[in-house]
Amino acid sequence: MKLYSIVKKPLFTEKGAALKEAENKVLVEVDLKANKIEIRKAIEEIFKVKVDKVATVKVHGKQKRWGKSVGMGSDRKKAVITLKKGEKLDFIEGV
């Protein structure tokens, strides 16, 4: 897989902000087929930081209803990236 196709986007949530402040962890959405080794290499190459640990969570899409018809939301995969001590990763500078 190509590096920029593995990492899709950062996730800005309250839980993610708390993890970033307390434990130096960052949440990102990644490709469903990517494994932890590929995610680690992509983060290190793209953002030039050292990664200590990668944890992944597969989130299944929710069922949605529009009147009589029923549909499904898309599945996605989240990665919790633990950075090594002294490393810092800011997706938005100055905020």
All structural domains of the chain, each given as residue ranges with its CATH number in brackets, are: 3-83 (3.30.70.330)
pLDDT in tens, 14-60: 998 898 888 999 999 999 999 999 999 999 999 999 999 999 999 99
Nearest Cα residue to 7 out of 93, 90, 36: 36
State the pTM of this model: 0.86
**Is the per-residue pLDDT at 5 higher than 50?**
yes
Element (H, E) at 22: helix 14-23
Sign of CA dihedral 11, 80, 4, 32: negative
